[in-house]
Amino acid sequence: MPQGSGRRQFIAAAGGLAGLATPGLVRAQSQNWPDRPVRIVVPFTPGGSNDAMARPLAERLQARFGQPFVVENRPGAGSAVGVNLVAQSAPDGHTLLVTTSSVAAIGPVQGTNFNPATELDSVALLAKAPLIVLTPPSSPIRSIQDLVRMDRERPRTLNFATSGPGSTTHIATELFNLRAGTTLQHIPYRGTAGALTDLVAGRVDLMFTTIASAAGQLRGGLLRIIAYTSDDRPEGVPPAPSVKSAGIDYEFGIWWGLFAPRGLPPRVRQSLNEATNAVLSEPSFARYLTGEGAIPSPLSPDAFAEFLRAEVRTMQEVVAAAKIRAD
């Protein structure tokens, strides 16, 4: 596929090429960047983890650059609406995107050629967070070893809840199936709250989710962590082994990143990366992220781009193997 055809397909599906600027005009404008307010698009509804990343980051970037950085929520189509809005905007540094690792799965889950590694510019990795594997306290599944053994004794009888088909937690659990050789069955919900309610009630067997989303149930002793999906985890979280420590070649986590339309001038990209990494190094911001169950994870633009390419390859593998499609 020629580079850019994914963007054209993605943009055409959403209604045109309006907003794209000529390279010469963008170069000229970049010399004075930012010379007007910068919008940061969040492709989800207000109040979620992406807002929790974008809004304090916007406040600190505004203080550093002397121009307003305004967060704009543009939800829809599993984040594709907001991501497309940024992908078709002028690459002049005045439209940015904060989104989560789900951006790497948009193309394969929705059956398009959209690839963020070629259709967006990777500006800065913000943070990473492990997922947790949860079971009710009454469950006989008290470890990953228990989970694998019980699945092999009774294939296709254990199930897992997610916030919906094609969600990050769905992909994380299907990747576990691939790596562990298990046959856990998917029970999709319309959001995390309903899935957690049924998990507490024992109507489903387990769930992969974030620490932050299950914080209330964990504080109340209503759920038990049997494993983390990564060895990297914030300070102060409850103790539990990693999936990898059970001898399974599995590592997974969610992450949040800052992106721009493809073709962002190198000077602007570098300035944004350096300013963002400086924000991540602030002790107060690091403490804030820890409270959200995340770990500051600064990278250079090139290192983030390579990281994203690897994430896209993993998402493509899992979605194809598990035949995942969005509703």
Could you tell me if 72 and 175 lie in one domain? no
121-175 residue pLDDT tens = 999 999 999 999 999 999 999 999 999 999 999 999 999 999 889 999 999 999 9
Examine the fold and report which residue of 246, 280, 296 is the final residue of a domain before the chain moves on: 246
Could you tell me if 93 and 35 lie in one domain? yes
On whether residue 204 sits in a domain, the answer given is: yes
- Selection from 172, 156, 151, 189 nearest residue 227 by Cα: 172
Could you tell me if 92 and 153 lie in one domain? no
185, containing H or E segment: strand 185-188
Examine the fold and report which residue of 213, 246, 279 is the final residue of a domain before the chain moves on: 246
pTM across the whole model? 0.86
Give percent above pLDDT 90 in the chain: 80
249-266 residue pLDDT tens = 999 999 999 999 999 999
Is residue 179's pLDDT more than 90? yes
**Which domain, by its residues, includes 187?**
132-246
Could you tell me if 263 and 312 lie in one domain? yes
Could you tell me if 272 and 124 lie in one domain? yes
On whether residue 327 sits in a domain, the answer given is: no
216-253 residue pLDDT tens = 999 999 999 999 999 999 888 999 999 999 999 999 99
DSSP calls for 221-290: T-SEEEEES-S---TTPPP--BSGGGT-----EEEEEEEEETT--HHHHHHHHHHHHHHHHSHHHHHHHH
- Selection from 232, 250, 244, 241 nearest residue 295 by Cα: 232
CB within 8 A of 160, min separation 6: which ones?
173, 184, 185, 186, 187, 204, 205, 206, 207, 208
Peptide bond into 75 cis (omega under 30): no
101 pLDDT band (50/70/90 cuts)?
Answer: very high
* Spatial contact of 182 and 148, defined as CB atoms under 8 Å apart: yes
Could you tell me if 23 and 73 lie in one domain? yes
Could you tell me if 89 and 148 lie in one domain? no
